[in-house]
Structures are given as C-alpha cells and as structure tokens.
Amino acid sequence: MTKKRTGVFVCHCGTNIAATVDVAKVAREMADENTVAFTQEYVYMCSEPGQESVVQAIKDNKLDSVVVTCCSPNLHEKTFRDNAQRAGINNFTCEIANIREQCSWVHNDKAKGTEKAIKISRSVVRRVNRNKPLEAIAVNVTRKAMVIGGGIAGIQAALDIANAGVEVVLVEKQATIGGRMLQLSETFPTLDCSQCVLSPKMVEVKRHPKVKLMTYSEVQELSGSVGNFQVKVLKKPTFVDPDKCKICDHCTEVCPVVVPNEYELNLTARRAIYIPYAQAIPASFTLDESACLGLNPVVCGKCKDVCEAGAINYDMRPETVIEDVGAVVVATGFDLYDQENMPELGGGKLEDVLDGLQFERLCSASGATKGHILRPSDHREPKDVVFIQCVGSRDPAKHCAYCSKICCMYTAKHARLYKKHVPDGRAYVFYIDIRSGGKGYEEFVQRTMEDDDTLYLRGRVSKLYRHNGKVRVLGTDTLTGQNVEIDADMVVLAQAMVPSKGTTEIAKVLKIGRDKDGFLAEAHPKLRPVESVTAGIYLAGAAQAPKDIPETVAQAGAAASKVIALLSQATLSRSPLIAKVRPSHCTGCGMCVDACPFIAIRLENGKAVVNEALCEGCGSCSATCLRAAIDVKNVTQLQIHEMIEACLA
Amino acid sequence: MSEQQAYEPKVVAFLCKWCSSAGSDLAGVSRIQYPANATPITIPCTGAMSPMYILSAFNKGADGVLVSGCHIGDCHYIEGNYLARRKMHLTMELLKFIGVEPDRFRMSWVSAAEGAKFAQVVTDFINDLEPLGPQDKLKKVVSS
Amino acid sequence: MINIQDIRDTARDMLAKGEVRAVIGYRRGTRGMLAEPAFITSPEQADDLVWDPTCFHNLSLYLVEDRKFLAHLNKSSDAPIAVIAKGCDARSIVVLLQEHYFKREDVYIIGVSCEGTGVVDERKLASHLNGFQASNAVFDGDDFVFTTAQGEKRLPAREVMADRCLECRNPFPKENNVVFGEDKTGRELEAPFAALARFEAQGTGERWDFWSHHFDRCIRCFACRSVCPMCYCDECVVDSITFPVTPATTAEEKANRIRWIDRSATRSENITYLMTRAMHLAGRCTDCGECERACPVNVPIRLLNNKMEREAREKFGFEPGASIGGPSLVASFLDSDPGDFIR
C-alpha cells in the first residue's frame, strides 16, 4: 500500500477563524501527521485564488487526498470536492474539518480553541487516510409513472405528469374514477358544483394520449426500486365491454337483484349491473359479480338478453398485468370514521342521523332524492337540522387525536345548502372551534353564521336518541352556560377523516410507512411532504393527512413535479456513501435487515446484500451488526475508531 | 491553584449530521459561547452509534461521552434515532451497573434549530463532569 | 417424572431409521457422577444416554460447532442432527434459529423438562461434599440425595442448585420436536432476578469496588466466549487476533482490523471485553449459566447478562429465546421505549 499523501489546507476565514484559533499552529501540528505530505494556510480558502492554490498544491505535491479545515461542510463541502475533482483526484477523498461554527466562533479562549481545532483537524486527517475513491451510483430509469387512486388527487397528478410528456398508468379500485369529490354536491367556499368542476378533468384523463386508465383494478405487488419498479395489477372483470356499452340503461330495468348502493352511501339501492353515476368514467356499466345471480344464462341472463349493443360478456376473466414504472404516486384517499364507534350518538343505527357524505348525496341533483333534502325515514322535508362538528376528531382519549381540518368548512357549507333547499328550515351547528384558514374561508363561515335561522352553538352533544319520530339532541351551549335540547328532524355528523381501507392495504403492498394515525407517512413532516420514506414513491391527497380540495390539487401537482424531475433523467445519480457487506464476516443473522429503515438489505444465500438503489447510508445496520460485517463506505467503524483516538490524544 | 481547578474534562461528542451537528453549527452562527472541552465527531445518524464507540472513548481516556441526535419522530433517516435510543439505554445502564458515575454518559436530542440548546447541553455536561474528576475506571493505562 | 429409557428409545429409533445423523446428549462422565456431553452416532450407543441433575451443559453449543465443522469441510448436512435440550438450552436454540444460524429442519430438538429440579452447581456441591466423591444424584422432590462411598448425603435443593435454576420460571423447552417431562416449575425458591436486585441495592462506589475486583482477576482466557452458543462469530470484534485469514484475505484487510483493545489482561481492557460481550448478548442470552460455570477465576459474569436481560424484559417487553420469527432486541424498537434519560 503506497503511503498516503494528504494535503491540509487551513483557512483563516479572515478573522472568523484566525482571531480565536492559532491557524499557523494547526498547520504545524497537521504537518507532523505521517500521512500529511503538505500543509498550507490561506485567508479565504473558498475564494477563487484559494481554490486555485489547492489545485496547484495537489498537482505540485502529487497529493491523493485533501483536508480543508474551515467552515461547516454545509457551506463548502461541494465546492472543495468539485475543486479536488478538477485537480484530478476523486472528490470523495476530500473532507472538511469544521473549525469555525463548531470551534472558533464559540470559544473565546485562543489556547483552548486552538487545542480543539487541532483535535478536530487531526480526526479528519485520520478519517481521510482511510477514504476510498468513490463514484456516484448510476441507476437506470423507466420513463413511466403509476398513479394509484383515481380521485381528484390521482387525476390531477396523472394529468400533470402526462402533460409533461411522461406516460402514466392510473389505477383505480372502483368502477369509475372521481373518488370522493364526485360524491360531493357543491364545494366550499365558492359553492360551485363539484361534478361540473371535476367532470372535465375526468374526461381529460380518459382522452389523454399519455394516460392509460385501469379502473376496477387493484395493485397487488410492487417490486424493484426507484427508477425501476415492477407493479402487478389485477384487472377485475366488469363483464361489460366499455367500448360497446351505450349506457342505455335497459339492463338495470330487468336485473332482478337489488343491493345497497355504496356510491350513494347506502341511501339507496342499485342493481347487480349498474353504472355508479351518470358521469362515470369510463362511461360504461359494470356487473357486480358478488351480487349477480350467477353469470349464467341458465340462472338468469336477463341483462345480456336485452343488451342491443351486445356489450355484456359473462366470460370475461380477471387479468394480471405487470407494469414497469419509474415512480409511483399513491393517492388512495380517505374514509369517514365509522359511526358505529360513537354509540352515544346512535352508533350508526339511528334513522335520520347521517354523515357528511350522505348529506352531500341528498343535496346533489344526481343523488337518490334528486337534490331534495328529505328525511330517509319518512321522506319528509326536515325543518330542524342539527349539524355536529368534531365527531371522532380532537379526541385523544377515545377516538382520533387530530383535527380533520375540513369539517368546520363543510358543515358551514351544509348549513348554507340546507337553508337554500329548505328556506324556512332552521339549522343548528354544535362546534368547539371554527377552523377556517383557507382563502375566502373565514368570510364564508361568517356569512353562514349571519343567517337568522342558522344558530351556531359552542358546545358538545352528549347524546342522540329517537323521540316521537324525531332525533332528540342533548347538547350544551358553553357561551350561555345552558344545556340545550333540540328535537331535530335530521342530524348530520361531521365524522373524522380517516385513511381509507385501500390506503391501509396499499401501504402494506408497497411497504411504505404509515404514521401513528394510519395516514401515509411523509419522508419529512416539513420539508418533504409529498415523498414517502421509500425513494420513488410519492404521496398526494387525503391519504397522507386530512386536507381540502385546493390543498389536494396542490399536493398532487407537487408529487407530479417530483415524479417529472425524477424521470427527466436518463440515469439517477445517488451518493455512494452507502453500506457495504463483508461476506467473510457475515453470518446471515438478519439483524441488519430488520434494523434498516429503508428495507434496503436482504438475505441471499445466507449473506446480507445491500440494495444500492435504496440504501441511504444512515449506518443503522453497521451499529446493529455484532460482527462489524457491514459498514458505510468512507464512514467505517475503523475510521470512527481512529477519529476517537485523535480526539483524545 | 488547586489541582481540581486546573482539571478540564475531555469529552467526545457524537453528533448526527442532520440535526445535532447542524444545531451545533447554528450555535456557532449565533456566536453562543460554551466550553471547549467537547470535540465533535459527526456521524450520519445516531442510528450509526455503536456501543463500542462509547466504550472505546472511555477506554482511551474520555472523561465524558455525549451522543446527540434528532428528536424522536424527526430523524432524517426515519428510524435511526429510535434504534439509538434503545442501544444507548442499554449502554448507559451497563455503565451505571458496573459503577461508572451516571453523569459521565449523556444523550440529548438537539434539532438543527436548537443552537442555544446545544450550547446549554455542552455547558451543563462540562459543569456536571468537573466535580467527578478525571475518569480512570475504564481508561487504559499506558506505560510511559 | 422422566423415564430415561424413553429418551434412549427415541434416540435409538431415530438413528436406526437414519432420520438423524447423530444425537447430542449426556452420558456418564469419567469424573465421579458428573454427566458429560455425548455424541451418539449409532443406535447401540443410545444406551449410554443419561438424564440427571448433573446434566448442566448447554448442548446447543455443539450445534454451533457442528455447523462450523461442516462449513470448514464445505459440506452441507444430509440429515438433521438431534440434540437433547433443557428449557434454557431450547431457548438458546430458538435464538440461533432466529438468527438463521441453521434451518429449523436441520435440528431435531429432543426437549427434556427439568420439571423445576434444575441442575447442580459443581462448586456448591464440592464445598458440601468436602472432597468426597458422589456416584449418583437424585432429586426426591425437596432435596438432592447424593450417594457417596460414605453413604447417602441429603442436601436441600437450595444449597446445591445452580443459582440460575433458583430463579428460573421456565424449565419447559417450548420449542421442540418431541418433549419429555411436564411444564411445571415446582416450588419457587427465589424471585426472578433476585440476585440482581440484591446487587443493585448498592451505590456507585460499592458497585465499582465489586466489579473492579473481578475485572482485575479476569485472565482473558475467553472460556466464557468459547462455551457460549451465541458467541459464534468467526471474528470476535474485541479480539482482533481471531480475524479469519483465508487465501483470499488481502494485506489491506489484515492491516485494517480494528484493535479496539489490547490483548493484555489488564483491568481497562478486561472491562471493555466483558462489557462488549454483555452488550452483544443483550436480548440473546438465555441464561444457560455456562459462562460463569466455565470461568476459571469465578467472575460473576451472569450478573452482567442478567442485567441486560432484565432491561430487555422490563423496559422493552422483550423476551430472549421466546420466538423464532420476529426481530432481535437491538434491531427493533417500540414507540414506548424509555427516553427520559435523553435531554
């Protein structure tokens, strides 16, 4: 092994370092290290002449490595590494010793500051001695993306990615895209029609040449890593050819099966063959195999008989497709917290007690009641409607600890819509706080509150029960200190937003983390809100956290921009400071596999193997391994050992 | 001047790159002064803290060892500090068990925004170490 | 009650049918009444097998040796190897399986429950027998009865039982292919971790006095490491001379071994060795007690391991040797892990 020739360059940084650290002494002490072939001081090492002098010194003295003792590596590590590369040595053989932020700026005593600067510098010199030249890792990229979830988040992400010229596969579990937004009547704060706003986007997705739409399909498996995923998708059979279906509706007229309609939140029923909504995309009917009498002309076969277009085919089979994609966006949305969790509010069993989405369907012109707000029990118009906010939210003791963010706004919207549909009705809103932070939101709520027959009561509701054909509401008004009892015709509960069942399932399939409330976990709560922990998998919409439509659209665009940035490179470049296994010492115990936060290690033939595309170089594996069989390159245990020695000399 | 007053504890401080080292940088930018006894070694993550580093530091004569990382839930590598919390707990308990003064090993969570906290942690540590005197229980005796 | 003939029959049967290639068990030793490990490879040898309170060895160690031997010969096992395992020993095997040291189908566990009898401690017994030899040991429900040339010597269980057995609650080998004996603990003699609690009642100064005395006496013979089934590492990180050198080893690799400590058996180096070993056994040691039994200078090594085990159980809800699946103690974490010590 040839002797190391390290150059140590001590920066004065004007007086920032030189005032409280004897830089000349640091240089002298480093010159005594037997791996150091050259030392130099300069006023501003990062300046043009400073960097040039480093390049010259490397060439003149045949240096193979560099230590710059100066400010924090956050500032100039890249500068000096690029500089070293220019001079002909590998950039990873250049390291920074921080003797400014962590030394000269915080210690006034020059003697003590210098002693510490010497220790810091010496430890970095010892580290560099063992640094290997490394090259950034190149990973091939498949220029195609997948979006899982066809609600507004998924639709927006798919459009943004497709408009950048990148092919997108949009996978949706239900028979139509549109998600929750398609179930809404109007949206706050503008009260524009939800379907009117959403439909053009749904059509655009359908027609976009770069979007492949796979509805009634589910993601089953994901393998590979960032830039190179293989996703297995199950296409469930709809038994109706979407290209032939004329949406004439003759089939539903003859279908003998009646089941609850989940798209209408079970407020009404549908047939086994159905179309979720008039605006469904794809514009086609679907035959629900679990409800159908048997897909067999001997048993039934009525729908096929009346179909003039010949679109119905009982022989359709499930199909498994493998898609190769470079990035994935997960936009699988939310459910509402189940009413059965609130026994004191009826437990989901009281008639005329609805949740927010059900109320939307009542308001919607395309809903079961054709836009008339009617009581489900007797179809009469409710004259007294109680709206209860914070049901299941903000309750760390029994339900969800967090705030679901949108309920104050949609409750105000519901009160407004109710008053519009039933002008002589009275609306009561039980609230704890009003959270209306978005653009136009506060004004919207204030206007709602100003209506004479809309009463906002600051207090909680302790019980709901039926009494004489109405729902008796026992609540409190903390501002007057009085208990309040209302015999309501209808009660609407603002249930907490929870991650959808599909979100929980997809997280397991994709092996992306979830937070303590079950929402998809973002890589960093502030600085990386649309990235999952797994490189190449991004998050958008309510699956990540409760949010409203503007935020969802913004987040979808953000996720799309990340995807586009990722896929715009022919190859991905990753830091080479990643883990490396010494197979001679590895016994295949698997502790590193379990410890790795990125699931980047696997066991193969009894030895640990690192996935270079996934490893982030955190070193958790190395600290867990009992045998030092795995180390992070250029941050090895041997290097740390020698740095400890240098700090205590 | 008594020997006790001349004694300066030697501390090795393992700082995680993304939070505590950045917090230490912020203390520098803010020019907050604190004792010069702790020499920092920056590691990628507290998850990379092997208990061997702590034992080795004491073996080589450290009077105190500090480990500092991201707050729970904020780890740049997601889970590294959770793993560290467990290992460091075991290491600390074992040191106490054999009769090393508990104050000699310290762990803290210092975020990139907590420059003042970093300075305080070091200051408090040095203050707590001074009355204990030099560490000679685990220190290797080197013949001169 | 365990009938040794059942165990012998099982072993004989399996060997005769070729279902296992060997049976690791106990047989009468050559030093008085103490049992010694036996490696039975033919059906006739099955009659040598014994079972009594002197069967204190942890035979899972030989599973490790067997694997190393096969690896050295570059052979793979053509049939499982059977091993007689007490409750504590079976838990060692579970840890070895958890760490994929061998496959479950490679080992046939003949579980034998000591039914709360425990095993004798040689040193305690020797101090009672005062130099006389015993030829037989039997447990009658309360006492150990030793047959000596001078007649029967009856000693209360507490006087001769191994310390770890006094505190044991799990004599039954849960992981097994076949098991003899019942899942019962018998009478409780000491609370679990009682000795540890007594030690921890002392303050920092007293603890150091205790340990420094023992750390000084350690001679770094590494008997504790040799006899521990969990210390199967090819290179012991704290003893770089054990670095396995093969024709493929480069000069750089040899030069780059980390010398964490010196080889001298001085106090500081002994401390680092013993503490590293305790840390490495955290969550893996199942308290078979062999390390302390093997130590030639009576260092109370088990106390260190028990401390780690109690931390694992009480602070992290982790039980060593409880299940083959699932992560190890230090490769996992819980949100509820204590963090009050962190500023």
Tens-digit pLDDT profile for residues C102-151: 999 999 999 999 988 889 998 898 888 887 778 888 888 778 888 888 88
pLDDT at A279 over 90: no
CA-only gyration radius of chain B, Å: 15
Mean pLDDT lowest for which of A221-230, A250-259, A386-395, B84-93? A221-230
Enumerate the residues of chain C whose CB falls inside 8 A of the CB of residue B107.
Answer: 341-343
What's the one-letter identity of residue C221?
C
Q: What is the mean pLDDT of residues A33-55?
A: 96
How many domains in chain A? 4
Contact A99, A121 (CB under 8 A): yes
In a domain, A471, yes or no: yes
Examine the pLDDT at A633 and tell me if it is beyond 90.
yes
Q: Looking at residue C186, what is its pLDDT?
A: 65
Q: Give the closest residue to A157 by CA, choosing from A322, A332, A321, A276.
A: A332
The answer to whether residue C80 is domain-embedded is: yes
Give the mean model confidence (pLDDT) for residues B92-118.
95
Torsion-angle region of A388 (φ positive above 0: left; ψ -120 to 50: alpha; else: beta): beta
pLDDT score for B1: 44
- Phi, psi values for residue A572, rounded to 5°: -90, 145
- pLDDT, residue C99, reads 97
| Touching chains, C (3+ CB pairs < 8 A) | A, B
Q: Which of A567, A593, A610 is the last residue of a domain?
A: A567
Burial class of residue A114, CB neighbours in 10 A (0-12, 13-18, 19+): buried
B78-94 b/e with 16+ CB inside 10 Å = b?
A: bbbbbbbbbbbbbbbbb
C97, C323, C330, best to mutate vs chain A, most A CBs in 10 Å? C330
Distance between CA atoms of A581 and A632, rounded to whole angstroms? 9
Residues A354 and A477 in one domain: yes
Q: Do A585 and C99 touch (CB under 8 A)?
A: no
Check whether residue A124 and residue A196 sit in a common domain: no
Whether residues A324 and A342 share a domain: the answer is no
Mean pLDDT of C36-60: 95
Mutant choice from C275, C306, C309 vs B, greatest count of B C-beta within 10 A: C275
A595 contacts on C by Cβ (under 8 Å): 327, 330-332
State residue C295 phi and psi, 5-degree precision: -65, 120
Domain carrying residue A383: 335-498
Indicate yes or no: CB of B90 within 8 angstroms of CB of C330.
yes
The proportion of chain B whose per-residue pLDDT surpasses 90, expressed as a percent, equals 83
- Does C76 score more than 90 pLDDT? no
How far apart CA A157 and CA A563 sit, in angstroms, is 9
Q: Is A533 part of any domain?
A: yes
pLDDT tens for A420-450 read 999 999 999 999 999 999 999 999 999 999 9
- In a domain, residue C336? The reply is no
Residues A203, C75: Cα–Cα separation, whole Å: 65
Domains of chain B, each with CATH number or no CATH: 7-130 (3.40.50.960)
Which CATH number does the domain housing residue A621 bear? 3.30.70.20
pLDDT in tens, A456-509: 999 999 999 999 999 999 999 999 999 999 999 999 999 999 999 999 999 989
Domain assignment of residue C296, yes or no: yes
Q: Do the domain assignments include residue C51?
A: yes
- The alpha-helical segments, DSSP class H, found in A262-327 are 302-306
The confidence band for A1, taking pLDDT boundaries of 50, 70 and 90, is low
Q: DSSP letter at C242?
A: G
Same domain, residue pair A464 and A590: no
CB proximity A516 to C under 8 Å: yes
CA distances from C298 to A224, C61, C217 (A): 54, 21, 9
What lies within 8 Å, CB to CB, of C194 at 6+ separation is C166, C167
Distance CA A285, CA A276 (A): 8
Residues C263, C259: Cα–Cα separation, whole Å = 9
Query: How far is the C-alpha of C333 from the C-alpha of C343, rounded, in Å?
Result: 19
Same domain, A365 and A468: yes
Which pTM was predicted? Answer: 0.76
A254 within some domain: no
A301 located within any domain: no
Shared-domain flag, residues A445 and A376: yes
The position carrying tokens 């680092």 is C272
Nearest-angstrom CA–CA distance, A390 and A345: 12
% of residues, chain B, pLDDT over 70: 96
Residues A384 and A459 in one domain: yes
Calculate mean pLDDT across residues A5-22.
96
d(CA A218, CA A221) in angstroms, rounded, equals: 9
For residue C339, the chain B residues in CB contact (below 8 A) are 72, 85
User: So what's the pLDDT on residue A296?
Assistant: 84
Q: Are A349 and A491 within one domain?
A: yes
Chains contacting chain A through 3 or more C-beta pairs under 8 A: B, C
Q: Are residues A185 and A217 in the same domain?
A: yes
* Closest approach of B128 to chain C, Cα-based (Å): 14
CA torsion angle for A620, A625, A626, A632 (degrees, to 10)?
-80
Whether residue C321 lies inside any domain: the answer is no
CATH number, domain of A403, equals 3.50.50.60
Domain that holds residue C148: 4-316
Chain segment A57-89, per-residue pLDDT in tens: 999 999 999 999 999 998 899 999 999 999 999
Kindly report, residue by residue over C219-250, the tens digit of the pLDDT.
Answer: 999 999 999 999 999 889 888 777 777 787 88
A349 lies in the same domain as A388: yes
Which residue, among A37, A40, A64, has the nearest Cα to A50 in the 3D structure? A40
The pLDDT of residue C187 is 66
Flag if B40 and A524 touch (Cβ within 8 Å): no
Q: DSSP string covering A276-294, please? A: S-TT-SS-S-EE-TTTSS-
Query: Do residues A30 and A51 both lie within one domain?
Result: yes
Residue A365 has what pLDDT? 92
65-124 in chain C: CB under 8 A from chain A: 99-101
Can you tell me which residue has the tokens 């409760």?
A: A546
Q: What ipTM describes this predicted complex? A: 0.96
pLDDT(B45) > 80: yes
| A282 domain-assigned | no
Measured in whole angstroms, the distance separating CA A637 from the mean position of its chain's CA atoms is: 35
CA distances from C285 to A268, A568, C66, C231 (A): 62, 52, 20, 10
Q: Is residue A173 part of a domain?
A: yes
Chain A interface includes C233 (CB < 8 A): yes
Q: What is the mean pLDDT of residues A92-114?
A: 97
Residue for token pair 């595309």: A613
Omega cis (within 30) before A209: no
Test the C interface: residue of A514, A584, A626 with most C CBs within 10 Å: A626
Q: Is residue A246 part of a domain?
A: no
Number of domain units in chain C: 1
Residues of chain C contacting A591 with CB distance shorter than 8 Å: 99, 327-328, 330-331
Residue A414 belongs to a domain: yes
Between CA B15 and CA B117 the distance in angstroms is 14
- Nearest alpha-carbon partner for A88 in A68, A125, A62: A62
Q: How many CB atoms lie within 10 A of CB A471?
A: 26
Q: Given the structure tokens 């762990």, which residue do they identify?
A: B107
A128-157 burial by CB neighbour count: b if 16+ within 10 A, else e? bbbbeebeeeebebbbbbbbbbbbbbbbbb
**pLDDT above 90 for A237:** yes
CB-based contact, C262 to chain B, within 8 Å: yes
A79, A107: one domain: yes
Asked if residue C228 is part of any domain, the answer here is yes
* Average predicted confidence (pLDDT) for chain B: 93
- CA–CA separation, C140 and C51 (whole Å): 15
Higher pLDDT, C143 or B50: B50
Mean pLDDT computed over every residue of chain A = 95
Asked if A107 and B36 come within 8 Å (Cβ–Cβ), the reply is yes
Quick check: C100 and A637 CB within 8 A?
no
Q: Is C262's Cβ below 8 Å from some Cβ in A?
A: no
C37 vs A44: CA distance, rounded Å: 72
Q: Which residues contact A124 (CB under 8 A, 6 or more apart)?
A: A67, A69, A95, A96, A97, A643
Res A591 pLDDT > 60? yes
Mean pLDDT on A588-606: 95
| Burial (0-12, 13-18, 19+ Cβ within 10 Å), C169 | exposed
